[in-house]
Every structure is written in structure tokens, then in C-alpha cells.
């Protein structure tokens, strides 16, 4: 019985990590947020691309994002491939500061990106441990 409980516990933990990953990186409607090392709170939103620019070989997307009654603008440097793929009017996911809405972070880079990698690894490890316990619970270790 001990293996069954442990197995279900780890499978449940893997499911929780999967939900966090979905909420942060995939769901377009999620309002998930986090607090960074500077104690700045961030909230997820979507920016709308309003312009594209190339400056000395640097490709950038100019976007706006709403926060209550105000509209803020950001500039995101991207690869040439992403620059070609994105169109004016497309939506891009970002985090913006709750207390300082002019401060924003792209979801695909830096600490936010590595946080996603850590969530995926934790989810896989928990799932494998849980699957091993369930396998043992049903006599698979003989």
C-alpha cells in the first residue's frame, strides 16, 4: 500500500507542475504572475505588435499592452526568423510590473525561460518516480 500512495503523490505533484507550466507559458487567458528578486510583482498579459523595425542588423518588434486605463509600449529584440514570422496586429505574451506597469519582461527569455525548463524537468522527474512506485505497487518489482 505504501508504494501506491507514494506513486499517486508523485503523479499528483507532476500534474501540479504541468498545470503551473500551462498557466505560465501556454494559456492565453491566464493572469498568472510572479515576484522577482527585486520584489517586483509581475502579471501575465499579451502585447499587440504595432510596428517592426530593423536598426543596424537588429530586428525588433514594437508592441503595446494595456494596463487598466493606460497603454504602455515595449520594444522586443528578436531573431530574423521570428521578425519575418510576426505580423503587425499579432499578440505576444509578456509579463508586466503590477506596481510599475512600464516595466515588462518577455516570457521566452531569461529567468522566465529557465523557470519553464526547471518546471518541465521537475514534472518529468516526479512523473517517473510516481510511475516507478505504481509499477512496484502492482507487483512489477518481482
Taking 50 as the pLDDT cut, the residues of the chain under it are none
Tell whether 142 is covered by a domain.
no
pTM over 0.75: no
pLDDT at 105: 81
Classify the C-alpha dihedral 38-19-47-62 as positive or negative.
positive
pLDDT at 112: 66
pLDDT at 69: 82
What is the distance between the alpha carbons of residues 32 and 56, in angstroms, rounded to a whole number?
Answer: 36
Domain around 25: 2-137
Which H or E run contains 112? helix 110-137
Count: domains in the chain: 1
pLDDT at 89: 94
pLDDT at 33: 67
| Residues in CB range of 88: below 8 A, 6 or more apart | 49, 50, 51, 52
Amino acid at each position: 500500500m505504501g508504494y501506491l500512495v507514494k506513486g499517486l503523490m508523485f503523479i499528483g505533484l507532476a500534474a501540479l507542475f504541468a498545470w503551473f507550466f500551462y498557466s505560465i507559458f501556454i494559456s492565453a487567458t491566464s493572469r498568472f504572475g510572479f515576484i522577482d528578486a527585486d520584489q517586483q510583482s509581475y502579471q501575465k498579459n499579451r502585447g499587440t505588435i504595432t510596428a517592426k523595425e530593423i536598426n543596424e542588423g537588429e530586428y525588433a518588434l514594437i508592441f503595446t499592452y494595456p494596463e487598466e486605463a493606460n497603454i504602455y509600449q515595449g520594444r522586443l529584440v528578436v531573431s530574423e526568423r521570428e521578425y519575418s514570422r510576426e505580423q503587425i496586429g499579432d499578440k505576444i505574451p509578456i509579463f508586466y510590473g503590477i506596481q510599475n506597469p512600464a516595466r515588462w519582461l518577455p516570457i521566452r527569455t531569461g529567468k522566465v525561460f529557465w523557470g519553464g525548463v526547471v518546471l518541465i524537468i521537475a514534472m518529468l522527474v516526479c512523473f517517473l518516480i510516481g510511475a516507478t512506485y505504481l509499477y512496484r505497487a502492482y507487483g512489477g518489482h518481482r
